[in-house]
Structure 1
Amino acid sequence: MTRPRQVLLPAGRGGTRAYTPRDEPLRVAADGPPFTSRTVFSAAHVVADPLADVSPDGPAAVDWDATLAFRRHLWSHGLGVAEAMDTAQRGMGLDWAGAAELIRRSAAEAKAVGGRIACGVGTDQLTLPATPTQVIRAYEEQLALVEAAGAQAILMASRALAATAASPDDYAETYGHLLRQASEPVILHWLGPMFDPALAGYWGSADLDAATDTFLEVIAAHPDKVDGIKISLLDADREVALRRRLPQGVRCYTGDDFHYPELIAGDDHGFSHALLGIFDPLGPLAAEAVRVLDTGDVKAFRALLDPTVELSRHLFQSPTRYYKTGVVFLAWLAGHQTHFTMVGGLQSARSLPHLARAYELADTLGLFPDPTLAASRMRSLLAVHGVPQ
């Protein structure tokens, strides 16, 4: 393979610095054996239709072929797909109508290829302010659609519930009602305000200890209806403490994109499974690491996954909710889509230096199947922004 020529990256104060891309990608195999020690989902992004004449506040225009092809890519490595979550720009460019279509199409694709899928159930069809009854009915509508599609349900945190609930009892009543009618065990999702500021004070308190108690009370009242919980608070100690208090048989799916290697590896008292946005760009590498962990080799697992944390922390840096921009950017560089366009125009949410650093970190890890293509696309983006190559 011909070595790509250097890429001139922003260096601050208007200057540039030369970066030499890798010669070869990291080689990992697809079609490996199923995971045996952990259940692992990648929250997947959507691919926008770059030729659609849309405005940032209009309905999303999705390239369905490319979107479903990316899900097949994840399934080919043995990962489950967590669909219509915040990584898919749910509530940040993708409305309920678009999410519903995404759920139907992805669930059908999962059935066709034998892939595992779980889909987000929320209340984003509501216009605020809403009543408690409207919140429950919105959740019910989405739960019915996900179950009819044949997918596992993920009960997501609701902006409408956060705005409507007056006490922890309101959360317990709402979730209890939904869990009683769920046909199969669901995953409960606690998304912190760093991912969505509208979810501050979820579970009825800004005190995380009090909120955790309410959360656990809901689970304890319906353990047979809760497959697991996804925790996205970016607090490893709190996640470990919480998972040790879960009823037997209820899984903890880490959503901590800062500390996932140690949480998945676990300790003498247990471990976390995974449902992570960072496993969108890390899919093949993450799958390889989990298969190594399946053999019991924790040291080799950490050797594969620990070096990826710097990239993840970069993508998820504050404001954390804009991590989707870096995820889609890396998918473009990796050749999973032909453009860097996002629904809602969110490609503008991160700066050029931020994207350049993401490229450098991802290339250093060997994440790009074709480093020459990634370098070429990076140079084209830099040139458009006035950085000569």
Structure 2
Amino acid sequence: MTALTLLDAQGGVASVALNAAPAFQKPRHPLASRVAYAAAHVVPKAHADNTPGEPAEIDWDATLAFRHHVWSWGLGVADAMDTAQRNMGLDPAATRELISRSAAEAASVGGKLVVGVNTDHVDEEHIPLDRVIDAYKQQLHQTEDAGAGVVLMASRHLARAAQSADDYRRVYREVLAAASTPVVLHWLGTAFDPSLAGYFGSDDSDAASQTLLEIIEDDPTKVQGVKMSLLDADAEIAVRRRLPGTARMFTGDDFHYVGLIEGDDLGHSDALLGAFSCLAPNASAAIQALDAGDVEGYRSILAPTEPLSQQVFAAPTYYYKTGVAFLSWLNGHQAAFQMVGGLHAARSLPHLSRIVELANASGALERPELAAARWHAMLTLNGVEPATTEAATAKDDVPDAAPAPEPAAPSASDPIDLSELPA
């Protein structure tokens, strides 16, 4: 039994048994019971100048291969979002190239793709509302021309310029009128971006929710859904129950997604989650269980991943991207633990150790031996000697690993026809 070395906040070393990867299997048919997008990250060239403020130099092979990994599990990709380091290192030129390249790759395999539309190409911090509208429209048209679906992201420029809820209604009304296809609106809370305080005209979530709903009701044909990332399950459910039948709720709540996606007698949330970037096999297997009517199976697969997601998204939450890239590296999706803007240094070794611990416990290590070797090498590089004993002790506060699904599921080698994914 291989021992996995862990590091606590005081520098103490312990070990646990390295679990085998769950036998999750790729779907034979498109996922049906829920629509799920994984918000994907970007992989920089390891030899590039990935220091803060420098233009992003993307490893396009690794970045696009990761999107194919997500599509292969039947999930959609949400690209050029905050998970891809928008407003935290991904500059406008790299953003435009990411959108065009991802759209071309999605078209080549029939993968489902939505991408972020924002105003972040404008250099000035403060611009009037008319320029906010024009900036949104510019990115909107570029995205539509690339052939991608649109997520209308929360704009820092709008948050600075708006003086009232009426200003938000005006901006969204004019931008939505310019959209040629229905879009997903995005409400990003201050845990993810403190500069978005008071978005939709109020710090009170009920008042802001009312404005959001009024924006949708003004022209429901232009809104296919809302992504809520407030980390407030009750607020999300309250809005979900008031949405018109034409609009989906896409949970962006990386703390409470298990119950929100399962739903209740009055409805459920679909998913557009950064957490699913770390958990594509687990998320796919869980939704496959829901497709089969196996709610308990869904819970047994996905519930153990929630503590892992909560660790990845722990305060300060906007540094969650470090955990996403770290897990990508552990799972072999990128050759180096590097991030645009040097953000791989944003979390401590004990924080990363807890991610390793919870990923191991929840079945989120796709290649456990590789993950252990990489993690132990990282510890050694930082002056921590990994445990050499084969004996390992379990820790009581770690959730059990996700059980393997029944072998009757389709083989991992069976192809999925991505062209049949729901629109």
**Is the shorter-chain TM-score for this pair beyond 0.5, marking a shared fold?**
yes
What whole-Å deviation, never above 9, does each CA across 1:188-217 have from its counterpart, x for those lacking one? 000000000000100011111111111100
What whole-Å deviation, never above 9, does each CA across 1:142-191 have from its counterpart, x for those lacking one? 10111001111000000000001111111000000011110000000000
Specify the alignment match of 1:53 in structure 2. Answer: 49
1:305-324 aligned at under 5 Å gives the runs 305-324=302-321
State whether structure 2 residue 28 is matched by structure 1 residue 28: no
Specify the alignment match of 2:138 in structure 1. Answer: 141
The 2-side partners of 1:371 and 1:188 are apart by 37
Question: 147, 158, 161: which is aligned to 1:161?
Answer: 158
What whole-Å deviation, never above 9, does each CA across 1:97-116 have from its counterpart, x for those lacking one? 11111000000000001100
List gaps (5 residues or longer) in structure 2: 387-423
- Contact kept, 8 Å, 2:51 with 2:340, in 1: the verdict is no
The 1-side partners of 2:224 and 2:5 are apart by 48
Specify the alignment match of 1:328 in structure 2. Answer: 325
The 2-side partners of 1:248 and 1:308 are apart by 30
What letter is aligned with 2:294? D
- Contact kept, 8 Å, 1:32 with 1:77, in 2: the verdict is no
The 2-side partners of 1:274 and 1:369 are apart by 21
What's the CA shift for 1:83? 0.5
Aligned residues: 385
What's the CA shift for 1:54? 4.4
The 1-side partners of 2:314 and 2:366 are apart by 25
Superposition RMSD in Å: 1.0
1:344-359 aligned at under 5 Å gives the runs 344-359=341-356
Specify the alignment match of 1:281 in structure 2. Answer: 278
State whether structure 2 residue 39 is matched by structure 1 residue 43: yes
What whole-Å deviation, never above 9, does each CA across 1:289-318 have from its counterpart, x for those lacking one? 111111222222111111111101111111
- Contact kept, 8 Å, 1:85 with 1:119, in 2: the verdict is yes
The 2-side partners of 1:206 and 1:133 are apart by 24
State whether structure 2 residue 237 is matched by structure 1 residue 251: no
- Contact kept, 8 Å, 2:181 with 2:222, in 1: the verdict is yes
What whole-Å deviation, never above 9, does each CA across 1:261-301 have from its counterpart, x for those lacking one? 11111101111111000000100110111111112222221
Specify the alignment match of 2:357 in structure 1. Answer: 360
What letter is aligned with 2:226? I
The 1-side partners of 2:169 and 2:9 are apart by 50
State whether structure 2 residue 218 is matched by structure 1 residue 232: no
- Which moved further from structure 2: 81-90 or 298-307? 298-307
What letter is aligned with 2:28? G
What's the CA shift for 1:15? 2.1
List gaps (5 residues or longer) in structure 1: none
Taking only the aligned residue pairs, the percentage that are identical comes to 54
Relative contact order (alpha carbons < 8 A, sep ≥ 6): 1 or 2 greater? 2
Specify the alignment match of 1:16 in structure 2. Answer: 13
- Contact kept, 8 Å, 2:252 with 2:272, in 1: the verdict is yes
Question: 62, 72, 79: which is aligned to 2:58?
Answer: 62
State whether structure 2 residue 371 is matched by structure 1 residue 374: yes
What letter is aligned with 1:50? A
TM-score by length of 2: 0.89
The 2-side partners of 1:32 and 1:311 are apart by 28
The 2-side partners of 1:229 and 1:49 are apart by 34
What letter is aligned with 2:296? K
TM-score by length of 1: 0.97
- Contact kept, 8 Å, 2:50 with 2:339, in 1: the verdict is no
What letter is aligned with 1:190? W
What letter is aligned with 2:37? F
What's the CA shift for 1:12? 3.7
- Contact kept, 8 Å, 1:230 with 1:255, in 2: the verdict is yes
Runs of 4+ in 1 over 6 A off after TM superposition: none
Specify the alignment match of 1:340 in structure 2. Answer: 337
The 1-side partners of 2:382 and 2:102 are apart by 35
Question: 164, 175, 181: which is aligned to 1:178?
Answer: 175
Specify the alignment match of 2:96 in structure 1. Answer: 100
The 2-side partners of 1:48 and 1:178 are apart by 32
2:278 aligned counterpart, secondary structure = coil
